[in-house]
Amino acid sequence: MPYKDKEIEKMYFSISEVAKQFNVAASLIRFWETEFEILKPKKTTKGNRLYSKKDIENFRLIHHLVKEKGYTLDGAKKKLKEGGIDKTDANAEIITRLKKIRSFLESMYNEL
């Protein structure tokens, strides 16, 4: 059996990488940090933000509620506090997977 290199995964992401992943401005991410308690990235001594995978998942949840579901910021805060996270998290994860599948299928179609 041939040796297979393990894929290296990043532990932390910069604010620009997160902004690019969600197609939003970095200022929106910084603003949501002040509004939502669950967004607490680590900061370097220079003050640069480092987002873990958990931070990105929390941002994905908020992004799903506000941008895709149309919640206001106060409504999203209430939804997160009342414990609706599990169902919302599952829905956001499903949507993310479907978007990845769609982009894969579109790339396959374009290659034909």
Are residues 52 and 42 in contact, defined by beta-carbon separation less than 8 angstroms?
yes
- Supply the range of the domain harboring residue 37: 15-111
SS3 content of the chain, % helix, strand, coil (to 5): 60, 5, 30
Q: Give the C-alpha distances (Å, rounded to integers) separating 10 from 3, 13, 50, 68, 95.
A: 22, 7, 11, 27, 23
What are the pLDDT digits (tens) for 66-105? 988 888 999 888 888 886 555 666 676 777 788 889 988 9
Half-sphere exposure for 40 (CA within 13 Å, toward CB): 2
Residue 68 lies in a domain: yes
Supply the CATH number for residue 21's domain: 1.10.1660.10
Residue 5 lies in a domain: no
Count of C-beta atoms within a 10 Å radius of residue 51: 24
What are the pLDDT digits (tens) for 50-70? 999 999 988 988 998 898 888
pTM greater than 0.85 (yes/no): no
Based on the structure, what is the number of domains in the chain?
1
